[in-house]
Every structure is written in C-alpha cells, then in structure tokens.
Amino acid sequence: MNIDWYPGHMKKARAQIVEGLPTIDLFIEVLDARLPASSANPLLERLRGDKPCIKVLNKNDLADPTVTKSWVRFFEKQHGVRAIPLDAKDRRDVGLLPKLCRKLVPGRGGKGERLLRVMVVGIPNVGKSTLINTLAGRKIARVGDKPAITTCPQQIDLRNGILLSDTPGLLWPVLEDPDGACRLAASGAIGDNAFDTTAVSLATVEYVAGKYPALLLHRYKLPELLETAILLLEEIGRRRGCLVSGGEVDLHRAAELFLRELRSGKLGRISLERPGKIAAAEVTADNK
C-alpha cells in the first residue's frame, strides 16, 4: 500500500512542535481508538522525551470496548503515560482531562500556581480540534471530516490554570508499514486522493469478515460470508445499488460506500488493530 501524503505544512508543523517543546509541561496525544498504534506518530513519541503524556483514545464510541480496554492497559505500562478512552464531543468525558493533567504535573495549574502548559498533538482527523473546542466550552479550532483542517498553531487559555497549545495534525513523511497505512486510510486519516480506495476497502472487508463477521452479515443482510473479499464487496455493492449499465457492480462506488459506513460507525463498534500483535512486533524490532 503506497501512500503519497506529506503536505508542505506538515514539515512546518514539525518545526513548530520542536520550537514549543521547552515551555511545555505535558502532552495530550489524541489517537483514534480504533487504531491507536497506527494513529500514534513515533516522531511525537521521540520529541516528548520524559515529559508526561495523556493518550486520549478518541472515537471510543466507534471502537470495540473490549479491545479498547486492552489498549489502555498496554499504554499505561509505558513510562509517564496515562490513557483515557473518550468521545471528544462528550463534555462529561472531556471534563476528566484537566484534573488528570494537574495530577501528572503537581504544582502547576492550581489556584495560585503557575500555568500548566499542555501541547495537544495528533495526526490529522483524529478529533484534536473537537477535543479542544469541548475543553474550551466554545468553538475555537476548526472542525471538519477531512484531514489537515488545522494548519496554524494557536494557544488557548482555558481560564482554569491550563494553557493549551494546538498544533496542526502531523503525519510522518514515509508510511513504511503497509498494514498501518491501510488502516489509516480506512479510518479517514489520509485524504482519499492519496490511496487506492478499492484496495483499502478490500483489505478492510477481509479484516472485518475475519474479526466481526456478525456485524458484516447484519449490516448488509448477507445470508453468509462469501469466500473472498472481492466477492463480499461485490455483493455489498449489489445490495446497495452500486450498479452500472448491464447490472454490473461498480466496485469503486461499493468501496466508497463501505468505507463511509465503517467510518461513521454504521457497521457497529469495530477496532482495526489489537495490542498483542503490536507488542509482538515491537519485541521483534528490538531484537534485530
């Protein structure tokens, strides 16, 4: 899976993050709860050093809750890291963050104390701007359903002792892991023009059929799972009217429909990766 995605403003975003590091007390990294490893930028992990980090598993309402619990346990084994699953639009969920920030950086952000400076980071389209707007209680950051909405840094005083630094969504220049790139594309983190929609959809259909067959059967009213991903996608397209003259299935339209419904949660709560496989891959890499 070749992904051609590194707009010029992302190079600028990396420089802006590096420039702001000396003044930052804590990071909030916003991840997609459906693919926490693929949506975590290794560059950001290196940049933060020993500073504490809250991993926000956003879009928790779209992810498999059992898998999400496993991800929380996985992340909280890492030094200086706390993980919290939430929906960035939910004020009750997001309201837990300021208290957790103060707990991780004692002596900052309380009454009579110095401001607690927090940098919010994350790749495009994980809900970073939505989280900031919910924290602020007003619309400050632009929100959209396409990646790269935020392109300029800004600071937001929450007026509760916490100062947020917002940064543009940042992907790394080369997506070397083809499976991770595919998951990012399926989730909507990468612009649709940067990848083969049909190839991504076929790979994702195959994954969902293997891990969540009942959801696939129910959503598309299929009597049974077909033998291959392409047969499944064709049947989905046929049942949803993605046809061209002569009754043939328009596979590209079927692929677009499937990805839209996956991203919106219409298929059900689906996690696209699990921590066991990721941990095994890290051990293998460390032993090389």
Residue ranges of domains in the chain: 8-166, 196-286
Query: pTM for this structure?
Result: 0.85
- Which CATH number is correct for 8-166, 2.40.10.10, 3.90.1580.10, 3.40.50.300, 3.90.550.10? 3.40.50.300
| Pick among 3.50.50.60, 1.10.1580.10, 3.40.640.10, 3.40.1130.10: CATH of 196-286 | 1.10.1580.10
Q: What is the pLDDT along the chain (288 residues), one digit of tens a residue?
A: 555 444 555 566 667 777 778 889 999 999 999 999 999 877 777 778 889 999 999 999 999 999 999 999 999 999 999 999 999 999 999 999 999 999 999 998 888 889 999 999 888 788 998 999 999 988 886 554 444 444 445 789 999 999 998 877 666 555 567 888 899 999 998 877 878 999 999 999 999 999 999 999 999 999 999 999 999 999 999 999 999 988 899 999 999 999 999 999 999 999 999 998 654 444 334 434
* Structural contact between residues 28 and 44, judged by C-beta atoms closer than 8 angstroms: no
Three-state SS string over the chain comes to CCCCCCCHHHHHHHHHHHHHHHHCCEEEEEEECCCCCCCCCHHHHHHHCCCCEEEEEECHHHCCHHHHHHHHHHHCCCCCEEEEECCCCCHHHHCCHHHHHHHHCCCECCCCCECEEEEEECCCCCCHHHHHHHHHCCCCCCCCCCCCCCCCCEEEECCCCEEEEECCCCCCCCCCCHHHHHHHHHHCCCCHHHCCHHHHHHHHHHHHHHHCHHHHHHHHCCCCCCCCHHHHHHHHHHHCCCECCCCCECHHHHHHHHHHHHHHCCCCCCCCCCHHHHHHHHHHHHCC
Please, are residues 202 and 255 in contact by the beta-carbon 8 Å criterion? yes
